[in-house]
Chain A
Amino acid sequence: MRERGWAALRGYTFLVYGFVYLPIMLMGLFSLNGSDIIAFPLRGFTLEWYDTILHDQRILNGLLTTMSIAFPVTIITTLLGSMAAIVLTRHEFKLKFLFLGLLILPFFVPKLIFAIAQVTFLSDVGIKKGLLTVCISQALIILPFVTVIIASVLIRMDRSLEEAAGDLGATGWQTFRMVTLPLMKNGIMAGAFISFVLSNAEYTVSYFTSGRAQPLSVLVASDFRFHLSPSLNALAMLIVFFNILIIVTSEWLRHKKVQP
């Protein structure tokens, strides 16, 4: 293709990335603006909004709840996701398409419908909403993502190493323990990081299943439905920075070459 065509495409790509990042950057700009009205013209630099949000006891309590949900969710999804990824990439069986269908079911079903299904289920079984119920329903929503991330690493892995181990007389468990696991370790870690981020960000399902244990996302949503404030900007920016850190680490791990 001629150079001019590529130049046009490059410009177009910049434009789309601009569209993707513009709202976030404007949010960042106004989190540092010295006025409590989020509007131009700018009124000078301040860190006041960050100070406000970091000393807000309600927000900190929400953060604590968010963390006590995120850690169990990460453990559940990483364990189940690793197992599912191995099944998808290393096993052939007749009903595999059914297994795959079951795995993507929580992704396919709209979150709201999934959430109200949980509500009816919990009310019929008689389980009280709380930390446990949010953890389980979040884990279901996040499981497909973690499975795909770990499977993406397993697919790229050289199968001959595992076959060699088998040929040399290693049992299935030994092969897994000494060959597969070390090679998929980065994938598992990448999956765990993403699971953590997704759990923090989850709103719809948490809103319906959390009961009194309100995580940060639910608290903030009720705030910004009624009024926007620069301190919410600051909070959102802190979350975005934290996420960038984790996602970049996760992607780096996922693509890292493993020394055998």
Chain B
Amino acid sequence: MKPKRLDRQRRLTLLSLAGPNILFITAFCVLPLLVLFSYSFFQVDFVSIIREPSLENYLRIAKSETYRGLIIKALVYGVGIAFICSIIAYPLAFFIAKRVKVYKAALLTLLLIPLYTGDLIRIFAWRVVLGAEGVLNSLFMWLGIIQEPIWVLLFSPFATTIVLTYNYLPFMVLPLWAAVEALDDSYIEAAMDLGCRRIAVFFKVILPLSGAGLVAGFLMVFVLVVGDYLTPQLMGGSTGITVTSAIHDMFGAAFDWPTGSALAWLLLVSMTLFVILVSYLFYRSPWGRGIRRNS
């Protein structure tokens, strides 16, 4: 076949493979998001929606300290949980990548099981464990360590933090593991042979060389925690008011779709800005050298 015809055929193949995906996602994900965006400019009057575009919803949210606080709280939780996850995950990823040989696949599968099992069952399990009449409290009381149940275990920021960390830990371990796995052992050995202390090896060799995995995991956990709405709702009790539960209320009982849409879009935009900022800073930093060289 002539190269030109081959080229055309390849392009046709590409189009027929990518086309259905592009159509499907555009029609059922991009378009709904745009419809949601359009709602953020409408107003609500009792039980009907007035389709006269204005910026009023955004202005109201910008003026309200509560809404601003909720968005900031979500972002802070996202960064915080991602940070906790990265601290827990690093030694684990390092051990699985560099020490485990036979059971590597088994250990990684064990991490995937809770991840695929879904947030509902994971949260349910934690409620069983942490509840006021739950497993942990009753165990302590039975053993005589405490006399009264510890109420803060459930429906508190503490419970929310534990369950969020638990829920999204695999999303941090897996990219970190992949990054450490790809890291050449001889760098670590060379540093050790030259008298580098263990902590210094971590900060000067391992961390810079696995930075891409860390950032990938960090951003994934961040995005998932910011968008999580089940955990604070089911674990946080009255302290669990988050921006996502506020949005949920506006689409449920409160029937204020326009304000809900505006809040949702503000959250989406602030998330995106944060992700772009972190990616850019990483790309420009000395750690991002590996990525810059490849592209």
Q: Does B bind A?
A: yes
Interface residues of A (CB under 8 A from B): 1, 5-6, 9-10, 12-13, 16-17, 19-24, 26-27, 30, 37-41, 80, 83-84, 86-87, 91, 93, 99, 102-103, 105-114, 116-121, 124, 136-137, 139-140, 143, 172, 194, 197-198, 200-204, 208, 217, 220-221, 224-225, 228, 232-233, 236, 239-240, 243-244, 247-248, 251, 255
B119 at the interface (CB under 8 A from A): yes
* A39 neighbours in B (Cβ, 8 Å): 133-135, 137-138
* B110 neighbours in A (Cβ, 8 Å): 17, 20-21
Closest to A220 in B: B120
17 residue pairs A–B, Cβ–Cβ below 8 Å: A20-B110, A21-B110, A23-B128, A26-B125, A39-B138, A83-B17, A84-B18, A93-B14, A110-B223, A110-B227, A112-B227, A113-B36, A113-B268, A194-B116, A203-B230, A247-B113, A251-B108
From B26-34, B59-67, B207-215, the one touching the partner chain is: B26-34
A251–B248 alpha-carbon span in the complex (Å): 36
B121 at the interface (CB under 8 A from A): yes
B117 at the interface (CB under 8 A from A): yes
Would you call B223 and A87 a contact (CB within 8 A)?
Answer: no
Residue among A40, A80, A221, A228 with the highest chain B CB neighbour number at 10 A: A40
Would you call B92 and A12 a contact (CB within 8 A)?
Answer: yes
Q: Which of B14, B35, B137, B192 contacts A120 (CB 8 A)?
A: B35
Interface size on B, as a range, is 35 or more
Cβ-closest 4 pairs across A and B: A110-B227, A201-B118, A39-B138, A121-B32
Would you call B95 and A251 a contact (CB within 8 A)?
Answer: no
Would you call A10 and B229 a contact (CB within 8 A)?
Answer: no
B interface: dominant SS: helix
Known: A1-B188, A9-B95, A201-B121. 8 other contacts (CB 8 A): A13-B96, A83-B21, A108-B275, A113-B36, A120-B36, A217-B118, A239-B117, A251-B109
Q: A86-B17, A105-B25, A251-B105 are in contact. Are A113 and B247 (CB under 8 A)?
A: yes
* B264 neighbours in A (Cβ, 8 Å): 112-113, 116-117
Residue among B29, B31, B135, B228 with the highest chain A CB neighbour number at 10 A: B29
A16–B135 alpha-carbon span in the complex (Å): 20
